[in-house]
Each structure stands twice: as C-alpha cells, then as structure tokens.
Amino acid sequence: MKKILFVAALSLGSLTAFAQEGEEVTQEVTTEVAVAQDDFTAIETKDVPEAVSNAVAKNYPTATINKASVNKEEQYKIEVTLEDGTEGALYADKEGNWIEM
C-alpha cells in the first residue's frame, strides 16, 4: 500500500511540473505578440518633423538622433544616443509633444 501512495505522489508531482512548463511557454508567446504590434515604419532622420527635432534638441541637448520611425497615427519613435553613450527611444506626436508608449 505504501508503494501505491508513493507512486501516486510521484505522478502528481510530475504532472504539476509539466503544467508549470506549459504556463511559461504561454507567457513568452504573449510577450512576442505585444512586440509585433509596434507598427512603426522606418523613415530617414531628415524626414522627422521640425517640431519633433526641436523637442529633442531642447529637452536632450546632447542627443544625436540615430533612427526614426512613424506609425499610422503620425507618432514618431526616435532612437537617440546621448553624449555619454546612453541610448534610448523617445516617442512624440507630430507637434513635438512627448508621449508614453
């Protein structure tokens, strides 16, 4: 009888381990879908509206614009590098107002 209880406990523990692995895979897929919905199209840095360029220059005077992209709502994703080497992405509307994405 002890052997049957022992085997049952091991079986239950194994099933629990497999269920946890399945949950992790689901979380990874969800993360990838969120990234795919970014929907920005790359543009030339010279095509960034003057209002956006001025906002970068005013708020981040040591920043250099490396890449730029735009989405259908005319929101701009600006990838910059600061003088100290720090890199980041900034988001602004076409009037140069900062937005959170």
| Residue 69 DSSP code | E
Please tell me whether residues 22 and 49 are part of one structural domain: no
Helix residue ranges per DSSP H, 37-98: 50-59
Quote the domain boundaries for residue 7.
1-37
Residue owning tokens 């959170």: 100
Please tell me whether residues 53 and 84 are part of one structural domain: yes
Q: Is residue 101 a part of any domain in this protein?
A: no
Q: How far apart are the C-alpha atoms of 22 and 12, rounded to whole Å?
A: 16
Q: Is residue 54 a part of any domain in this protein?
A: yes
Please tell me whether residues 53 and 68 are part of one structural domain: yes
Assess whether pLDDT exceeds 90 at residue 93: yes
Q: Is residue 100 a part of any domain in this protein?
A: no
* Burial category of 48 from C-beta neighbours within 10 Å (exposed 0-12, middle 13-18, buried 19 and up): buried
pLDDT in tens, 40-92: 999 999 999 999 999 999 999 999 999 999 999 999 999 999 999 999 999 99
Looking at the 3D structure of the chain, how many domains does it have? 2
Please tell me whether residues 18 and 51 are part of one structural domain: no
Q: Is residue 75 a part of any domain in this protein?
A: yes
Cβ pair 40, 68 in contact under 8 A: no
Assess whether pLDDT exceeds 70 at residue 18: no
